[in-house]
Chain A
């Protein structure tokens, strides 16, 4: 019995050890030639630089939008104008009395 046990253990271990080297390369990426790696990297960096360019463009557009006067400026200005003329009218009416 003990011998059979030992044999089984040895066989299982042997199978395991034999299987290991064959399963290891499957987990790590397959070996590629350096050319392929460079191509992959280039593709990636192209994609990234495209994205970056888009973001740059968006930032520029945003800056232009920020420079444009908003609705607050418009109504603030109108308010100033009417307010100042209101004061002028008040002063003029006081002077008349």
Chain B
């Protein structure tokens, strides 16, 4: 799920850059220096996750984990995802460098939404955190697919057709992301619950 060079019209690419620059700045301002190590680890995890191929039926899909990143980082997630995507496009040739802004929006907005969703509904019990974490993971990928469809519409496609195709193609990813996020968050809730308290709600 990466937009390549030359797919989007120039105005959308530039708009994506501007919007993500604003969001990165906002995200960076809200990041506290004590959280930098955690942010670095999650950024590295996000950067690597796209290389983890999960065999699924005849094909294999790769993880995206915007939902998990958002759930763990809260409002800092956008900064993390922006940097992760920049390095992915430079080193792995995933997505074009001109479409980087749009790609960052596509992954970052779901991350922010999932971060809010997870913090809002995670409750206190571990089981609930696992369930909500899994939902957040699945939601992140689903939202990213919808934003991808919305961005592709600007390239002159019809929204519902594209959205249907993209969502169907990513259905396995959505399920796997949900499972992976649920397991990760369950593990963290048992081992280090403090990691599940990002700055999102503390400063809000």
Q: Which residues of A are interface residues toward B (Cβ below 8 A)?
A: 67, 69, 73-74, 76-78, 80-82, 84-86, 88-89, 92-93, 96
- Residues of B whose CB lies within 8 Å of any CB of A are 33, 36-37, 39-40, 43-44, 47-48, 51, 83-84, 87-88, 91-93
Q: Is the interface of A mostly helix, strand, loop or mixed?
A: helix
C-alpha spacing A89/B34, complex, angstroms: 8
Q: Establish whether residues B40 and A81, one from each chain, have CB atoms under 8 Å apart when the complex forms.
A: yes
Residue pairs across A and B with CB atoms within 8 Å: the count is 46
Are B87 and A92 in contact, with the CB atoms below 8 A? Answer: no
Residue of B nearest to A91 (CB): B33
Least Cβ–Cβ distance between B79 and chain A, in angstroms: 9
Q: With the chains together, A73 CA to B43 CA distance in Å?
A: 15
Q: Interface SS of chain B: helix, strand, loop or mixed?
A: helix
**Within the assembled complex, what's the spacing in Å between the Cα atoms of A76 and B40?**
14
Could you tell me the distance in whole angstroms from the C-beta of B97 to the nearest C-beta in chain A? 15
In the bound complex, do residue B33 and residue A78 qualify as a contact, i.e. CB atoms below 8 Å apart?
Answer: no
For the complex with contacts A76-B91, A78-B47, 18 further pairs of A-B residues with Cβ separation under 8 Å are A69-B91, A69-B92, A73-B92, A74-B48, A74-B51, A77-B87, A77-B88, A77-B91, A80-B87, A81-B40, A81-B84, A81-B87, A85-B37, A85-B40, A86-B40, A88-B33, A89-B37, A93-B33
